[in-house]
Chain A
Amino acid sequence: ETGVTQTPRHLVMGMTNKKSLKCEQHLGHNAMYWYKQSAKKPLELMFVYSLEERVENNSVPSRFSPECPNSSHLFLHLHTLQPEDSALYLCASSQGTGEAYGYTFGSGTRLTVV
């Protein structure tokens, strides 16, 4: 599949669980991102990876842990989440710096913390 693929599409987890979100892109992009989309709030940038190195972390709580093993894959490891972490988590990729072409987004993972 081309584009940006996120799995799972939906996830329900308890506050003591550990789970991971996966993102995969086959566009040859070298930058990848995690965004959080909550109801009634703007999209919030969480993490930025460029050439597999984390270049930005927007003060995200440590219960969210990203991993970028290569330029095509991005993970978001979750542990001891809170109910307010329930949201749509979007992955995106771009060709790199000097972003003039926009991002390509995945469909997102709908996370519910119970």
Chain B
Amino acid sequence: AQRVTQPEKLLSVFKGAPVELKCNYSYSGSPELFWYVQYSRQRLQLLLRHISRESIKGFTADLNKGETSFHLKKPFAQEEDSAMYYCALSGRNDYKLSFGAGTTVTVRA
């Protein structure tokens, strides 16, 4: 079974402060991890995926297999980062994507 846990439902930070969204997963095989974001009144969209090791909009996420975590980080939060963030997991060669419950981020001026 695969499971994704996002322990924080709400996260509030000041503009310019660092932000970290926690994600832990449970999966017996080789996982593919993703972060999705949903801005207000917009569709859910892919933010980044672990295999590409990319930085999108200043966000990075490192897969830690020892801790089974895939936390999302940004050193300096911006107001436009306010959104709902979902961590998601699929198995390699498995197109089923399981989502965490999501974390609502509010960046205050």
Contact B96 A56 (CB under 8 A): yes
Total count of chain B residues near the partner, CB < 8 A: 24
Interfacial chain B residues near A107, Cβ < 8 Å: 42-43
Q: In the complex, which residue of chain B has the Cβ closest to the Cβ of A98?
A: B93
A90 adjacent to chain B (CB < 8 Å):
yes
Contact A100 B51 (CB under 8 A): yes
Check A43/B43 contact, CB under 8 A, given A48-B96, A50-B95.
no
Check A105/B43 contact, CB under 8 A, given A50-B95, A97-B93.
yes
The A-contacting residues of B in range 46-67, CB under 8 angstroms, are 46, 49, 51
Contact A43 B99 (CB under 8 A): yes
Give B residues with C-beta under 8 Å from A: 4, 32, 34, 36, 42-46, 49, 51, 86, 90, 92-102
Contact with B101, one of A42, A48, A97 (Cβ below 8 angstroms): A42
Interfacial chain A residues near B99, Cβ < 8 Å: 42-43
